[in-house]
């Protein structure tokens, strides 16, 4: 049992204003592993006040100071990599081997931004005007639960690099506790980073509505993103949204079918399908339909599901609610007439405790079915056959989302041409990606703004024109 009962505000661990708690459940066993403090709007006010006061001084620190701080955080992140990886597994059931990889990527965000601000043009002269990039101010951060070692880092690192102060509403308890400890030990100045535990409906809403918060950085579902934007509207604050997806993976007729099938299955099933950019709609040429069905079925049935502290590819769903959501969609796929190729409802054989799921593949899917339209956030793959490349592009773009897309093919000119016509924020070709130096974010209802790389840094900057300043 490990309880998370304090917030981190103004460089100190402090008890929240309420003694209310909720249980933390281990997704692997379904048993209670601890308690989490449920803070209130009063705690948010306290954290915002600390961040607001700290902004006056931190925003004026030199780039050398910020770069050194970011590198110290990266050093601490790397020193506690195993603690962080095991916290991820305890939080959401990610296999620990994969969690270690994601932890390294999280540390890399701090290292990347430390390097980037050494050369980034925070001031440029254009004609007789100096264009200056200033930190936007106090940032409310609401990351999701599915990649906690990365998705908090990808917000904190650019905000610190820009000169902002912040309040984090964690997506998970254990991973973000370790991260806060790392930031504290690295010497983040008083009030610059604050963490308030609690429910998103309370803490996230308070941050979004708060008149002294200048920006909200949110990653999560489109439905919640809409509410965040509405809550932020009265104060005209900037809102950066990285939302849901129903990403297509077009396998072209001349692709290496074996490699494409293996890649497609791995990208969908990784992290129990709990990846916003997962290519859950796999578009397959009808001429190779039978062959690809066989290859994909074989790859899916080879996935080892089990205890995430052992050598498995897939652990459990993150929580009971998510497990039931996935089961609902699997049943909907059956009811709407898709052909169940492998997997299906229920737990895998022999895994009766915890929230384990069966890697599931449907074929004969139409693009108007629920399993092709809705973000399931589970290990459920939909195979949609097409006759022409033009039809494949049309199906790929026929979605309210536009977060990511994937194309596999042998003729690079054709692959590039198809990629240029896909309405998605990042397109990955022939098994490549993601690239954490490149901007990532969505078209359409997959959000606005970008994370990662210089584009991620620029989300936290305001532009000032000093006329006559050069």
Query: pLDDT tens for residues 377-412?
Result: 999 999 999 999 999 999 999 999 999 999 999 999
The pTM score is 0.96
Q: pLDDT digit string (tens) for 54-94?
A: 999 999 999 999 999 999 999 999 999 999 999 999 999 99
Helical spans, DSSP H, in 81-221: 81-92, 96-116, 148-151, 153-162, 173-186, 205-209
Instruction: Answer yes or no: is pLDDT of 194 > 90.
Output: yes
- Residues 213 and 272 placed together within one structural domain of the fold: no
- Residues 357 and 414 placed together within one structural domain of the fold: yes
Residue 426 in any domain: the answer is yes
> For tokens 């609610």, what's the residue?
321
Q: pLDDT digit string (tens) for 428-438?
A: 999 998 898 89
Residue 108 in any domain: the answer is yes
Question: Dihedral (C-alpha) 81, 85, 86, 92: value to the nearest 10 degrees?
Answer: 160
**CB 118 within 8 Å of CB 206:** no
Question: In this structure, are strands 138-142 and 165-168 parallel, antiparallel, or unpaired?
Answer: parallel
Residue 148: its pLDDT value, please?
95
Helices and strands counted in the chain (H then E): 16, 20
Residue 2 in any domain: the answer is no
Burial of residue 324, with CB atoms counted within 10 A of its CB: 0-12 exposed, 13-18 middle, 19 or more buried? exposed
Residue 239: helix, strand or coil by DSSP?
Answer: strand
Residue 434: its pLDDT value, please?
86
- Residues 36 and 72 placed together within one structural domain of the fold: yes
> For tokens 């494949």, what's the residue?
392
With bands split at pLDDT 50, 70 and 90, how would you rate the model's confidence at 130?
A: very high
Can you tell me the distance from the alpha carbon of 301 to that of 348, in angstroms, rounded to the nearest whole number? Answer: 11
**CB 288 within 8 Å of CB 253:** yes
Q: pLDDT digit string (tens) for 215-263?
A: 999 999 999 999 999 999 999 999 999 999 999 999 999 999 999 999 9
DSSP 203: I
- Residues 382 and 416 placed together within one structural domain of the fold: yes
Choose among 230, 161, 248, 189: nearest CA to 51: 189
Q: What residue ranges in 265-399 does DSSP mark as E strands?
A: 281-285, 339-342, 360-363, 380-386
- Residues 319 and 391 placed together within one structural domain of the fold: yes
- Residues 213 and 324 placed together within one structural domain of the fold: no
- Residues 231 and 254 placed together within one structural domain of the fold: no
Q: What angle do CA 457, 442, 179 make, to 5 degrees?
A: 50
Can you tell me the distance from the alpha carbon of 359 to that of 183, in angstroms, rounded to the nearest whole number? Answer: 37
Which domain, by its residues, includes 34?
Answer: 7-243+446-467
Count of structural domains, the chain: 2
- Residues 272 and 237 placed together within one structural domain of the fold: no
DSSP 200: I
Residue 187 in any domain: the answer is yes
Given the residues 23, 154, 242, 462, select the one marked as catalytic.
Answer: 242
Instruction: Answer yes or no: is pLDDT of 373 > 80.
Output: yes
Can you tell me the distance from the alpha carbon of 199 to that of 157, in angstroms, rounded to the nearest whole number? Answer: 24
Can you tell me the distance from the alpha carbon of 7 to that of 197, in angstroms, rounded to the nearest whole number? Answer: 6
CATH number, position 259: 3.40.309.10
Average pLDDT, the chain: 97
- Residues 46 and 137 placed together within one structural domain of the fold: yes
- Residues 197 and 265 placed together within one structural domain of the fold: no
Measured CA to CA in angstroms, residue 176 lies from 2, 68, 403 at distances of: 14, 22, 25
Give how far the C-alpha of residue 307 lies from the chain's centroid of Cα atoms, to the nearest Å: 23
List of residues 6+ apart from 185 with CB closer than 8 A: 76
Percent of the chain whose pLDDT exceeds 70: 100
Choose among 181, 169, 113: nearest CA to 142: 169
Residue 118 in any domain: the answer is yes
Residue 306 in any domain: the answer is yes
Active site residue 242: yes
With bands split at pLDDT 50, 70 and 90, how would you rate the model's confidence at 470?
A: confident
User: What is the pLDDT averaged over residues 155-174?
Assistant: 98
Residue 358: its pLDDT value, please?
98
> For tokens 């050093």, what's the residue?
75
Burial of residue 463, with CB atoms counted within 10 A of its CB: 0-12 exposed, 13-18 middle, 19 or more buried? exposed
Question: In this structure, are strands 129-135 and 123-126 parallel, antiparallel, or unpaired?
Answer: antiparallel
84 φ, ψ (degrees, to nearest 5) = -65, -45
- Residues 218 and 128 placed together within one structural domain of the fold: yes
37 φ, ψ (degrees, to nearest 5) = -65, 140
Residue 333 in any domain: the answer is yes
Burial of residue 59, with CB atoms counted within 10 A of its CB: 0-12 exposed, 13-18 middle, 19 or more buried? middle
CATH number, position 20: 3.40.605.10
Residue 1 in any domain: the answer is no
User: What is the pLDDT averaged over residues 292-317?
Assistant: 98
- Residues 168 and 30 placed together within one structural domain of the fold: yes
**CB 103 within 8 Å of CB 76:** no
């Amino acid at each position: 049992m490990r309880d998370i009962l304090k917030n981190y505000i103004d460089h100190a661990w402090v008890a929240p204003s309420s003694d209310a708690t909720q249980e933390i459940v281990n997704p692997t066993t379904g048993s209670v592993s601890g308690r989490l403090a449920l803070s209130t709007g009063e705690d948010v006010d306290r954290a915002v006040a600390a961040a607001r006061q700290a902004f006056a001084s931190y925003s004026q620190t030199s780039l050398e100071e910020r770069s050194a701080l970011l590198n110290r955080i990266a050093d601490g992140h790397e020193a506690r990599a195993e603690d962080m990886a095991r916290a991820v597994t305890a939080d959401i059931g990610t296999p620990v081997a994969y969690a270690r990889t994601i932890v390294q990527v999280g540390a890399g965000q701090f290292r990347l931004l430390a390097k980037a601000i050494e050369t980034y043009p925070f001031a440029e002269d254009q004609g007789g005007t100096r264009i200056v990039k200033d930190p936007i101010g106090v940032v409310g951060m609401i990351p999701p639960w599915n990649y906690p070692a990365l998705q908090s880092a990808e917000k904190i690192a650019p905000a610190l690099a820009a000169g902002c102060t912040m309040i984090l509403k964690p997506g998970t308890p254990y991973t973000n506790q370790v991260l806060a400890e790392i930031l504290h030990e690295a010497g983040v100045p008083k009030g610059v980073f604050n963490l308030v535990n609690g429910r998103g409906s309370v803490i996230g809403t308070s941050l979004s509505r708060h008149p002294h918060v200048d920006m909200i950085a949110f990653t999560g579902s489109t439905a919640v993103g809409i509410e965040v934007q509405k809550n932020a509207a009265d104060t005209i604050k900037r809102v950066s949204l990285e939302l849901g997806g129903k990403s297509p993976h077009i396998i072209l007729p001349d692709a290496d079918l074996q490699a494409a099938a293996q890649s497609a299955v791995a990208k969908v099933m990784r992290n129990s399908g709990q990846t916003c950019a997962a290519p859950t709609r796999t578009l397959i040429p009808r001429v190779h339909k039978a062959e690809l069905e066989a290859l994909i079925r074989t790859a899916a049935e080879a996935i080892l599901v089990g205890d995430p502290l052992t050598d498995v590819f897939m652990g459990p769903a993150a929580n009971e609610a998510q497990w039931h959501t996935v089961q609902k969609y699997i049943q909907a796929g059956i009811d709407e007439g898709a052909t169940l190729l492998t997997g299906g409802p229920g737990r895998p054989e022999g895994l009766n405790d915890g929230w384990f799921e069966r890697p599931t593949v449907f074929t004969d899917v139409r693009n108007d079915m629920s399993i092709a339209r809705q973000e399931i956030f589970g290990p459920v793959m939909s195979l949609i056959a097409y006759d022409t490349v033009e039809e494949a592009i049309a199906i790929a773009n026929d979605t309210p989302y536009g977060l990511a897309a994937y194309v596999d093919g042998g003729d690079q000119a054709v692959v590039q041409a198809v990629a240029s016509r896909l309405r998605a924020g990042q397109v990955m070709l022939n098994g490549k990606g993601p690239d954490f130096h490149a901007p990532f974010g969505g078209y359409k209802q997959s959000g606005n703004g970008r994370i990662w790389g210089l584009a991620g840094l620029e989300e936290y900057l305001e532009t000032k024109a000093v006329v006559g300043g050069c």
